[in-house]
Structure 1
Amino acid sequence: MSPSADLPTPPLSSCTKVESKQASKTPLQLISQGTPLPSIPTFLSFASHRAAILSHMAGAFRVFARKGFTEGMSGHISVRDPEYPHLFWTNPLARHFALLRASDMILLDYDGKVVGGNTSRPANGAGFLIHSALHKAREDVNAACHCHGKAGKAWSAFGKKLEMINQDICYMYGEAQGVYEDFGGIVFEEEEGRKLARALGEKGKGLVLKNHGLLTVGGTVDEAAYLYTLMERSAEVQLMVEAAAANGLKKIIVDDEAAEYTFRMASDPETLYWEFQPDLEYEVELMGNVFDDFDEEKALFCS
């Protein structure tokens, strides 16, 4: 027997106990004091799943409109079809975000052919090249958002990542955020879309597109939409901080340990899904669920 074999096991420190308690819970459970929020919804059929995600997609556009992310015909969201993963839904060109309904969405294949949904209007050609490249490159990317919001466009002129200057932007810590530096005008070439997907990388959640704006992705349209609102607001805050720093105030960056911990505890798919629900519920309360009108029988799936 070794000399130390009969020594008592030292008690767990309070810090160890806290870490052990955290390890047994998901981030969503940790943020819920009491009965935790439920997980991301699951569905009994592809039809019910499709109707739900298109409703949330239309709701996301309504939220974006209320937050002022519109700019002419610019801006698009895509959502991968739950039954046919090589197809994705997107919005019609030149229809205001605040007017969009689930029934307005267009179903495209990777060749750009309209294969279902709304056939009365075209999709955004540049948006198709961007979103098809993202969906092809990353199987985990079920949704992507890109708009021309004011703050995002302003910050994109610097061609830099958003800095970890507050708790919220730590949701985009490390590899979660990238910069696309090869702006060459409106995206009309497939290679441009592929380069953009490469800039996002294998773990990216959001991109600053130099001289262009912002782009986010997620496992749900709710996650991608929330991250877009987060990046747009964070760009606005960063510009305010930069203005204050230019007048002599010292800017303090969140240290890596704290930023990584915040990312790990808050930037998971379930938490990010729920981060978007307050804005979505507010939109429903103000306007009614008028955007939830998808009819599976009128989906017009083409052969």
Structure 2
Amino acid sequence: MNTLTRLRNMDSSEQTLRADLAAVFRMVARLDWHEGIANHFSVALPGPGRRFLMNRKWRHFSLMSASDLLLLDADDASVMTGTEAPDPTAWAIHGTMHRVLPNARCILHVHSPYATALSCLKDPRILPIDQTTARFFNRVSIDTGYTGMADEVDEGMRLAHVLGGNEVMMMGNHGVLVIGKSTAEAYDTLYHLERACRTLMLAYASGRELAVLSDGVAEQTARDWESFTDSSFTHLAEVRRILDRHEPDYID
């Protein structure tokens, strides 16, 4: 049975999750937010959220297909001793978060250029200087405890605690992590997060004083974004339309 036939015979919800996440990998590679063969995305299957899909070790984002994703169980650490063991850092972060954060249905972790640059500043806050940066006003956790590669469960627990009730974490001297209730919502958040960080870093680079929005305007703008979540599903659908035309093998 070939790969496409296997995918068509899967539970439709898993097939959709696989295709959506593969599409995100491909688009992130197109946007140059990946870093070599590192970084990881995952999405929970329907149910409690402990069974999840994640990219296998050392597969380039630009080549990712639906069938490449590993099906893992956050409660089964024995996978780390098998032939299909994921990257230890991925298991430490994603495996732990899928186990302890039921709201983290989709987890995206990247070292995208502008967000990573911002994470390396002494003050990595996303200041509200326009409509997109204001989306993240008072809605970002900041981790300042980087001590090296996160390859232990304890580090995953620490990061989950730092994230708290937010969906975005600036990982100081490291990168960013985004969670969402769906792949579409997580990707849309990541997309606008990188745009926001780009705008802020370019404004910083001008050397001119920033025109920061008032707290009231920033908060209202953030709330307006929160009532506009339906667009995230169309955003991902459009990403898939692009890939259907130019890289249709992502669904294999």
Normalising by structure 2, report the TM-score: 0.87
Structure ID, larger Rg: 1
Write out aligned runs for 1:74-113 (5 A). Answer: 74-83=38-47, 85-110=49-74, 111-113=76-78
Gaps of 5+ in 2: 1-9
Paired position in structure 1 for 2:155 = 192
Please tell me whether residue 218 in structure 1 is matched to residue 180 in structure 2: yes
Output the CA distance in 1 between the equivalents of 2:115 and 2:209.
23
What is the total number of aligned residue pairs between the two structures?
Answer: 239
Paired position in structure 2 for 1:41 = none
Output the CA distance in 2 between the equivalents of 1:278 and 1:197.
31
Which of 91, 95, 108 matches 1:132?
95
Write out aligned runs for 1:108-187 (5 A). Answer: 108-110=72-74, 111-114=76-79, 121-159=84-122, 160-174=124-138, 176-187=139-150
Which structure carries more helix by proportion?
2
Output the CA distance in 2 between the equivalents of 1:281 and 1:152.
27
Pick which of 263-272 and 127-136 moved more.
263-272
Which of 228, 237, 244 matches 1:277?
237
Query: Quick one: structure 1 residues 158 and 54, their matched pair in 2 at CA, closer, same or farther if it must change by over 3 Å?
Result: same
**1:239 positional shift:** 1.2
Query: Quick one: structure 1 residues 274 and 177, their matched pair in 2 at CA, closer, same or farther if it must change by over 3 Å?
Result: farther
Paired position in structure 1 for 2:213 = 254
Which of 240, 243, 246 matches 1:286?
246
Q: Secondary structure at the match of 1:163?
A: coil
CA contact (8 A) 2:188 2:232 kept: yes
CA contact (8 A) 1:214 1:232 kept: no
Read off the aligned partner of 2:95 and give its amino acid letter. S
Percent identical across equivalent pairs?
25
For residues 198-234 of structure 1, what are the alpha-carbon distances to aligned partners after superposition, in whole Å with 9 as ceiling and x for unaligned? 11112x1111101101111100111112211222222
**1:83 positional shift:** 4.3
**1:121 positional shift:** 4.4
Output the CA distance in 1 between the equivalents of 2:222 and 2:115.
21
Pick which of 139-148 and 222-231 moved more.
222-231
Read off the aligned partner of 2:196 and give its amino acid letter. S
Which of 163, 167, 187 matches 1:205?
167
Output the CA distance in 1 between the equivalents of 2:66 and 2:48.
18
For residues 114-160 of structure 1, what are the alpha-carbon distances to aligned partners after superposition, in whole Å with 9 as ceiling and x for unaligned? 49xxx974322101111122223321210010112222221111152
Q: Secondary structure at the match of 1:172?
A: coil
Output the CA distance in 1 between the equivalents of 2:187 and 2:85.
22
Output the CA distance in 1 between the equivalents of 2:20 and 2:98.
19
Which of 25, 35, 39 matches 1:61?
25
Q: Secondary structure at the match of 1:71?
A: coil
Query: Quick one: structure 1 residues 271 and 265, their matched pair in 2 at CA, closer, same or farther if it must change by over 3 Å?
Result: farther
Q: Secondary structure at the match of 2:240?
A: helix
Q: Secondary structure at the match of 2:251?
A: coil
Gaps of 5+ in 1: 1-45, 294-303
